[in-house]
Amino acid sequence: MGPQEKPRVAFFSFTCCEGCQLMVLSCEKELPDILKHIKIVNFREAMSEKSDDYDIAFVEGSISRRDEIKKLKKVRKQARVVVALGTCSSTGGLNCLKNRYPMEEVKEAVYGKRAALSYKPIDTIPARPIDAVVEVDYYLHGCPISKKEFLSFLTALLMGKKPDTVNHPVCVDCKMAGNICVFEKGGHCLGPVTRGGCDAICVTYGTWCWGCRGPVDNPNIDSHRETLERYGLTAEDVAKKFALYGECGGGRKC
């Protein structure tokens, strides 16, 4: 990239619902300004042109097929900066629920009896976050990502600053939003151990935190487990609550 050239940005999608890319597209007010500073060269949800020449790659989705491993390694080789876009990509996300079952059972649940009759093997492997396959430079958490966080991340990156990573629990956002604590209303919540930055949106809109952004660094899991148990949950209930978004956790290189 020459000094006068805009950084070339690509978006890639692996196993996911593509909701995080949709959040990027929902920045319709900000996009005209953003496009003055970057050139988007690959974004399947928004354009049909494609280029393999890019500097920054936003990677959405977890890895759940062998061909995705190959494709992701190619992205890593090309991009100067790789950003995990959303929970599927950062921690494996909901896709990792399939890892609880034998793969043959998973195939049959999706494809029925035809799974066994398929003339070529169905390419499915346990789901994993992208950092189980390649090095990742930055993580944007959330299912989906927060639009506000995406914009401030991109601004910092383009200004040559190190983007901030939120490392406070959702409870901090929740207090700032002026919510009444779900525990006080007799419910349960994973906010005390979950990474904030989402403005505690689920609590604000009447539910509780499901832990979609993954744990804060050094979460006090034992203390939170005790709290949940004090509020009437069994050890099994507690494990289930943590498991929805917490099954993969990352780390396995392949």
With contacts defined by CB under 6 A, name the span among 17-25, 28-36, 100-108, 119-127 that binds ligand SF4. Answer: 17-25
Which parts of 56-95 interact with ligand SF4 (CB under 6 A)?
Answer: 60-61, 86-88, 93-94
Q: Do residues 85 and 58 make contact, with C-beta atoms less than 8 angstroms apart?
A: yes
In whole angstroms, how far apart are CA 101 and each of 47, 98, 106, 109? 37, 6, 7, 10
With contacts defined by CB under 6 A, name the span among 27-35, 75-83, 128-136, 196-204 that binds ligand SF4. Answer: 196-204
- Angle, vertex CA 166, rays to CA 160 and CA 167, nearest 5: 130
Which parts of 151-170 interact with ligand SF4 (CB under 6 A)?
Answer: 170
Structure tokens at 32: 């005209």
Q: In angstroms, what is the minimal distance from the CB of 52 to ligand SF4?
A: 23
Q: In angstroms, what is the minimal distance from the CB of 116 to ligand SF4?
A: 29
Neighbours of 113 (CB within 10 A): 7
* Amino acid code (one letter) for 213: R
If binding is defined by CB under 6 A, does position 16 make contact with ligand SF4?
Answer: yes
If binding is defined by CB under 6 A, does position 130 make contact with ligand SF4?
Answer: no
Binds ligand SF4 (CB under 6 A): choice among 59, 82, 154, 200 = 200
Give the long-range contacts of residues 219-223, CB within 8 A, separation 24 or more.
Answer: 219/169, 219/192, 219/193, 219/194, 220/192, 220/193, 221/193, 223/192
Footprint of ligand SF4 (CB under 6 A)? 16-20, 60-61, 86-88, 93-94, 142-144, 170-171, 174, 179, 181-183, 189, 191-192, 194, 198, 200-203, 208-210, 212-213
